[in-house]
Structure 1
Amino acid sequence: MKFHSRRWVKPEDLNPNGTLFGGKLLAWIDEEAALYAIIQLENQRVVTKYMSEINFMSSAQQGDIVEIGIEVVKFGTTSLVVRSEVRNKMTHETIITVDAITMVGLDSFGKPLPHGKTTVEYMKDRLGKL
Structure 2
Amino acid sequence: MNFHTRKWVKPEDLNPNGTLFGGSLLKWIDEEAAIYAICQLDNKRVVTKYMSEINFLSSATLGDIIEMGIIATQFGTTSLTLFCEVRNKITRHSILTIDKIVFVNIDEEFNPVPHGKTKITYSADRFKD
TM range (shorter): over 0.9
Amino acid of the structure 2 residue aligned with 1:89: K
Amino acid of the structure 1 residue aligned with 2:51: M
2:88 is the counterpart of 1:88 = yes
Give CA-to-partner distance per residue, 1:47-82, whole Å, 9 cap, x none. Answer: 100000010000000100000000111001111100
Amino acid of the structure 2 residue aligned with 1:38: I
Fraction of identical pairs, as percent = 64
**What's the secondary structure of 1:124's corresponding residue?**
helix
RMSD over equivalenced CA pairs, Å: 0.9
Instruction: Provide the C-alpha distance between the structure 1 equivalents of 2:57 and 2:119, rounded to a whole number of angstroms.
Output: 30
Query: Aligned pair count?
Result: 129
Amino acid of the structure 1 residue aligned with 2:5: S
Instruction: Provide the C-alpha distance between the structure 1 equivalents of 2:92 and 2:38, rounded to a whole number of angstroms.
Output: 28
Amino acid of the structure 1 residue aligned with 2:123: M
Which residue of 1 is the match for residue 5 of structure 2? 5
Structure 1: 5+ residue stretches without partners: none
What is the CA-CA distance between 1:127 and the residue it aligns to?
A: 3.0
* Segments ≥4 residues shifted beyond 4 Å: none
Instruction: Provide the C-alpha distance between the structure 2 equivalents of 1:66 and 1:127, rounded to a whole number of angstroms.
Output: 28
Which residue of 2 is the match for residue 28 of structure 1? 28
Which residue of 2 is the match for residue 53 of structure 1? 53
